[in-house]
Amino acid sequence: MEVDSEENFRKVIQRNNCPASSFPSEASITKNFVDFIDTSKSLDHDPNVQAMQSSYYPNRGDIPSATELSESAILEALNALIKAVNTLTVDVRNQHQVIDRLRVLLENCNICNSASITTQPTCGTHPPQCFARVQCQDTPNGPRCGPCPYGFVGNGYECTAVRTCRDYPCFHDVQCRDTDHGYECGPCPAGYEGDGEHCAKRSGCEYSPCHPGQN
């Protein structure tokens, strides 16, 4: 249903054969509007509505209003602020002086100069060519090869196989000792003579124990 601009709403209803009872009277519309206004005014004194309004607009007691501050209080606060700013200014100036001194020390420090710092070689960065099964060892003078494995003699870079006490090189019942240069045999047992590796039984008459002329 369209409403023409030159005709009022009631004429439009009559033109479209709408029942008159479907449109409220002007008196009822006016009465409903007045009742709505009266109801809105009565809500201003409703405690529930006031509680809702106070939750949305809380009283900020932590922020004093301008009327509560006296002129002397404002001046005192400004003086305290100026004093704090002056203290911070002095601290910042002192920090600048300390930083300038540190900068001079770092610029004149030979140890801090990256060009003078040398990296000590290690077994991980400069491993030497050690003999098989010889471990590399880091020393104050740099990486070095460790001792030769058991059964070998040498400097760790070059090792030569030698006999050891495990090979039983010494004479029977002669004590054997392993050294960096190989094995060493102890003295021959009593009644024997030799180097410990080879021992021969000593003859009873070899040292002339008998009286001359007697066999």
Which residue's entry shows tokens 């009559």? 14
Backbone angles phi, psi at 200, to 5 degrees: -125, 145
Question: Residue 179 forms beta bridges with which residues?
Answer: 182
Structure tokens at 192: 């024997």
Between residues 113 and 76, the one the model is more confident about: 76
- Give the pTM: 0.35
Instruction: Pick one of 3.40.50.720, 3.40.1160.10, 2.10.25.10, 3.30.360.10 as the CATH number of 136-201.
Output: 2.10.25.10
Q: How many Cα atoms occupy the beta-carbon half-sphere of 38 within 13 Å?
A: 6
Q: How confident is the model at residue 1 (pLDDT cuts 50, 70, 90)?
A: very low
- pLDDT of 78 over the 50 cut: yes
- The DSSP symbol for 187 reads P
Question: Could you give the CA distance from residue 194 to residue 173 in angstroms, rounded to a whole number?
Answer: 13
* Rounded-to-integer distance, Cα 46 and Cα 41, Å: 10
Q: What are phi and psi of 24, to 5 degrees?
A: -70, 155
Taking the domains of the chain in order of start, what are their residue ranges?
A: 78-116, 136-201
Q: What is the pLDDT of residues 165-192, one digit of tens each?
A: 988 899 988 999 988 778 899 999 988 9
Q: Examine the pLDDT at 107 and tell me if it is beyond 70.
A: yes
CB-CB neighbours of 37 under 10 Å: 9
Mean pLDDT of 24-52: 55
Q: What angle do CA 23, 28, 31 make, to 5 degrees?
A: 150
